[in-house]
Amino acid sequence: MLLPQAVRWNPYADLIFTNGKIVTVDSNFSVAQALAIKDGKLIVVGSNADALTVRGPNTKVLDLAGKTVIPGLQDSHIHFLSLGEDVTYEADLTYAKNAQEIVKAVADLKQRRNLKIGEWIRGTKWDQYKYPEMVTRWQIDAVTPQNPVYLTRTYRGAMVNSEVFRQMGINDEKPETWPGWWLKDPENFTYEDKIFRSQRHIVLDSGETKDVAVPTGVFLGARATRLLTRNPPAYTFDQDVESVKTGAEEMLRLGVTSIVDPSSRMGYDMRVYQEAYNRGWVTLRISAVYEGTFNTQSVDFIKQRLDAVKINNLGNPFLRWRGTKFYGDGGVGSRSSWISEPFEHSMEIEGSPNYGEPVMEDYKTREAQYRVAVDYGWDLHTHATGDMAMKQVVDLYKKLIDEKRRTNPNFSPRWSVIHAYMPIEPKTHVIDDMKKYGLIAVPNPVFNWQQGTGFATNIGETRMARLQPVRSYIKAGVMTASGSDYGVTTHNPWMGFYALLTRKDQTSGKVYGAEEIVDIKDALRTYTINGAYLTYEENFKGTLESGKIADLVILDIPSIDALQQNPELCFQMPDHIMMTMVEGQVRYAKRGFGF
């Protein structure tokens, strides 16, 4: 007896792409001509003839006319929740080269959003090292006389205009309103903290004139920025949920189909993501959200927090709560990485050798924190930029893995070192142990481009040439998965590709560490299959092979080698993305392209 039509098995593909260059990223990095998709999975990857064997009466066929197809990209370290808000409401200062361009970006945002008097103006990702002179509040005041302005640095810093000071009750002309830190940095400042000041000729209310160095509006470091008691209003929960929708659209436009959010912010981000998921707005894969971030919290606090969550690896391929995040030190740009050799010019700048700011210098305390997470079955992921921080992380990971293997010889956790700037420093050199113990490096290649000038200034050109040595990682056999670390840097993954292919500094164009340049194949692996490995998903995504999920990107370039031959093409890549698919569903398509 024949089955009813509705339940008969249909052997035909839903979609077929022909005449393309399908970059599979399989073990041989083979390139196919066509692929076929059914129920969100790849059922054929091969020649046109192979794919057309599963063509049925309702199969849609798209002739790629020589275009390139790659697996969907994964950003393995992105603070994603705020992205939609940033691209909607804030000025992006990534590409600003001087103070004038910062002022213009602020003025343009004010005009674009038609902001009223008193409304806050926000911006992100300035870096004082990139400019001949840092912008001042007086320059910003000229275009925002009645709007408070708050611009965040790439990392640990903020810049405000005079209206913010006025709202804090500070008046330039009234010394009695000046706080204790107005003319002199507080004694509790660390190496990273600084208030920029400039000599000004001030006319006091009494008519008396005074020449004095007062704040320009620029604050560096965590403690310095906390002095700013007037801040833009926090986005609401609903705005955060909307941000997930907009942020997903933005990443899909750039070819990113999966992300890792490295901090749940003690569960808040997961609440937002869950609500966005409930509304159908999680249209890319949030492959892991790490619980934390844990800094100096007590063992009891961490235990209570993880016990409250109860279940590790909670969720599905579109939203999963997995892994813990610990914090080991600061960053090179803020002169707070924990390093074995002091920062450049520290005697002149800080007055003593500056070895950075470890979060938890005591090994035993950090080990006790780690043990709680491991005992609850959570993976460990630790922010470590300096080589001393990396050594602490690797030493303790090794110890815990060795203990586990005494009773379970096959114990092979996918623990990572986040940022992982300095694995090959002479005094610490942890790269071999990372390979031996299967530890994963999660660098942010875009740092070498976007913050190269500041990094080189702070650690010197010799160490800069060794910073984030992705080629050394790959040569040593260390699994390496790339991420952006947005909102510290641009979220555009193609600038990460540019950094991997050139190691050029954005400001000077200088190449730091040419020997660490990688080829396009290795670069692509760090953004695809290696990321899938980090999140335990390599068996169903990360390559374009039969049986895997159809997460893919169609690029209007003749081959992936075009990026190798001309890395400057990376700057135009957002315009060359024709389509992004997640599980066979079109999530982005350039106008006029598609079925």
Sequential pLDDT tens for the chain (595 residues): 444 555 556 889 999 999 999 999 999 999 999 999 999 999 999 999 999 999 999 999 999 999 999 999 999 999 999 999 999 999 999 999 999 999 999 999 999 999 999 999 999 999 999 999 999 999 999 999 999 999 999 999 999 999 999 999 999 888 999 999 999 999 999 989 999 999 988 887 777 888 899 999 999 999 999 999 999 999 999 999 999 999 999 999 999 999 999 999 999 999 999 999 999 999 999 999 999 999 999 999 999 999 998 878 889 999 999 999 999 999 999 999 999 999 999 999 999 999 999 999 999 999 999 999 999 999 999 999 999 999 999 999 999 999 999 999 999 999 999 999 999 999 999 999 999 999 999 999 999 999 999 999 999 999 999 999 999 999 999 999 999 999 999 999 999 999 999 999 999 999 999 999 999 999 999 999 999 999 999 999 999 999 999 999 999 999 999 999 999 999 999 999 999 999 999 999 999 998 8
pTM: 0.94
Q: Which residues pair with 566 in a beta bridge?
A: none
For residues 513 and 565, give the distance between their C-alpha atoms in angstroms, rounded to a whole number.
Answer: 19
For residues 414 and 445, give the distance between their C-alpha atoms in angstroms, rounded to a whole number.
Answer: 21
Q: What is the pLDDT of residue 5?
A: 52
Burial class (CB in 10 A: 0-12, 13-18, 19+), 236: exposed
Which CATH number among 3.40.640.10, 3.30.930.10, 1.10.10.10, 3.20.20.140 corresponds to the domain 237-582? 3.20.20.140
Name the phi and psi angles at 276, rounded to 5.
Answer: -65, -40
Q: Cβ distance 474 to 539 under 8 Å?
A: no
Burial class (CB in 10 A: 0-12, 13-18, 19+), 127: buried
Kind plus residue range of the DSSP H or E element containing 35: strand 34-38
Record the tokens describing residue 310, joined without a space: 């109860």
Domain ranges of the chain: 121-225, 237-582
User: By three-state DSSP, how is residue 53 classified?
Assistant: coil
The Cα diameter of the chain in Å comes to: 104
Q: What is the pLDDT of residue 7?
A: 54
